[in-house]
């Protein structure tokens, strides 16, 4: 039997654990081809330390009772299936390009080096540090290698790193183990976060246009509803998206805009704002770019209240100056703070 339990509905009987100073890795695999039964696997990466039952929301899961292990397992990580999937069998909201991206170990291994000399994240860190108060458990939705989450944890928060890529989570786990940071890792699709209980995190972030990597407006709205559901009352949600109309400043942007505006209403597979482009070895990476009215409606649908909207300049390193002057075209994107 491939799975442990069906996750179409969240099980309220799953135990909660607290790891203390150590950290643990929680992996949520995708539905298997043959039986379509998801499985949660829990494995502590803290040697000789027993998990203690407590009140802090953290790891949920069970060890599988399978007589045969289909894939080899290393000492401190679980090796998952990386088989090629046909498009019809991809998880909800996951495009072919995104699937290939998260399945690539080289993308994760080179990620920090790729952005090593980029000051792109300094402004984001300042915004997050200012708005995520008081300190608590922060869920990073689409955490990557933890470049936004790790500084928050070093500043006093606890972290829950959530990503589709087990390669990215492996690097987050290495950083947490190296500095003994209280970070737990959960491999999951943001559209399918039923494994997390209601009101289990103090704050949540979804940075670096991660929301735009989800294909389909219904799927993006579902991800936002999950984020609203897992937030405790009074918790903050911070996200970043790209601006649709900023493409007018790109040399090939106007032609793409015209084609997209004309073709999307006639297509069932393409929405206004859907883009495909080559990125880091992936020839068809997907990204949805937002019109502000669209994003505001999606946040309202998830019952979020917008506290602040920060328009970003061309380089996305600072707040856009004189945003009142053609701001709809000059804004690269927005960082949005919600309650």
pLDDT band at 317 (very low <50, low <70, confident <90, very high): confident
Residue 7 falls within a domain, yes or no?
Answer: no
Considering the chain, what percentage of its residues have pLDDT values greater than 90? 65
Residue 253 falls within a domain, yes or no?
Answer: no
Please report the pLDDT score of residue 161 as a whole number. Answer: 98
Which of residues 278 and 71 earns the better pLDDT score?
A: 278
Please report the pLDDT score of residue 25 as a whole number. Answer: 39
Please report the pLDDT score of residue 87 as a whole number. Answer: 84
Dump pLDDT digits (tens) for 88-107: 889 999 999 999 999 999 99
Dump pLDDT digits (tens) for 220-274: 999 999 999 999 999 999 999 999 999 999 888 999 999 999 999 999 899 999 9
Number of structural domains the chain divides into: 1
| pLDDT of 22 over the 70 cut | no
Cα(289)–Cα(274) distance, rounded to whole angstroms? Answer: 7
199 vs 59, 94, 226, 232, 234, CA distance in Å? 15, 26, 10, 4, 10
Dump pLDDT digits (tens) for 57-83: 333 333 333 333 333 333 333 333 345
Please report the pLDDT score of residue 165 as a whole number. Answer: 96
Residue 186 falls within a domain, yes or no?
Answer: yes
pTM of the entire structure? Answer: 0.76
Dump pLDDT digits (tens) for 32-63: 333 333 333 333 333 333 333 343 433 333 33
Residue 186 main-chain phi, psi, to 5 deg: -130, 120
Residue 2 falls within a domain, yes or no?
Answer: no
- Across the range 262-290, mean pLDDT stands at 95
Residue ranges making up the domain that contains 106: 17-243+275-338
Residue 5 falls within a domain, yes or no?
Answer: no
- CATH number for the domain spanning 316: value is 3.40.50.150
Of 252, 162, 249, nearest to 205 by C-alpha is: 162
| pLDDT of 284 over the 60 cut | yes
Please report the pLDDT score of residue 331 as a whole number. Answer: 95
| pLDDT of 289 over the 80 cut | yes
Please report the pLDDT score of residue 175 as a whole number. Answer: 96
Residue 284 falls within a domain, yes or no?
Answer: yes
> Can you give the three-state secondary structure of the chain, one letter per residue?
CCCCCCCCCCCCCCCCEECCCCCEEEEEECCCCCCCCCEEEEEECCCCCCCEECCCCCCCCCCCCCCCCCCCECCCCECCCCCCCCHHHCCCCCCHHHHHHHCCHHHHHCHHHHCCCCCHHHHHHHHHHHHCCCCCEEEEECCCCCCCHHHHHHCCCEEEEEECCHHHHHHHHHHHHHHCCCEEEEECCCCCCCCCCCCCEEEEEECCCCHHHCCCHHHHHHHHHHHHHHEEEEEEEEEEEEEHHHHHHCCCHHHHHHHHHHHHHHCCCCCCCEEEEEECCEEEEEEECECHHHHHHHHHHCCCCEEEEEEECCCCCCECCCCCCCHHHHCCEEEEEEC
Cα(189)–Cα(166) distance, rounded to whole angstroms? Answer: 11
């Amino acid at each position: 039997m491939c799975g442990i339990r069906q996750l179409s509905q969240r099980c309220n009987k799953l135990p909660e654990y607290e790891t203390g100073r150590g950290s643990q890795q929680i992996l949520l695999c995708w539905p298997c081809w043959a039986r379509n039964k998801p499985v949660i696997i829990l494995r502590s990466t803290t040697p000789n330390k027993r998990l203690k039952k407590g009140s802090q929301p953290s790891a949920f899961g069970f060890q599988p009772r399978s007589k045969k292990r289909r894939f080899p397992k290393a000492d401190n990580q679980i090796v998952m299936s990386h088989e090629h999937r046909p498009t019809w069998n991809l998880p909800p909201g996951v495009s072919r390009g995104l699937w290939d991206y998260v399945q690539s170990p080289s993308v994760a291994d080179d990620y920090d080096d790729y952005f090593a000399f980029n000051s792109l994240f300094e402004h984001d860190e300042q915004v997050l540090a200012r708005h995520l108060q008081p300190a608590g458990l922060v869920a990073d939705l689409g955490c990557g290698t933890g470049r936004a989450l790790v500084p928050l944890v070093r500043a006093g928060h606890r972290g829950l790193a959530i990503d589709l890529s087990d390669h990215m989570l492996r690097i987050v786990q290495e950083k947490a183990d190296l500095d003994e940071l209280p970070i737990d890792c959960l491999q999951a699709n943001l559209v399918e976060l039923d494994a997390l209980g209601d009101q289990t995190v103090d704050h949540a972030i979804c940075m670096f246009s991660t929301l735009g990597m989800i294909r389909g407006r219904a799927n993006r709205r579902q991800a936002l509803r999950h984020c609203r559901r897992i937030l405790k009352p009074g918790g903050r949600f911070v996200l970043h998206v790209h601006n649709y109309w900023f493409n007018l400043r790109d040399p090939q942007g106007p032609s793409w805009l015209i084609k997209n505006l004309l073709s999307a209403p006639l297509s069932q597979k393409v929405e206004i704002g859907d883009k495909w482009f080559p990125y880091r070895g992936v020839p068809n990476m997907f990204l949805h770019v937002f019109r502000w009215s669209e994003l505001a409606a999606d946040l309202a649908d998830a019952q979020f209240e917008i506290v602040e909207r920060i328009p970003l300049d061309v380089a996305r390193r600072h707040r856009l100056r004189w945003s009142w002057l053609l701001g709809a075209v000059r804004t690269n994107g927005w960082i949005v703070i919600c309650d």
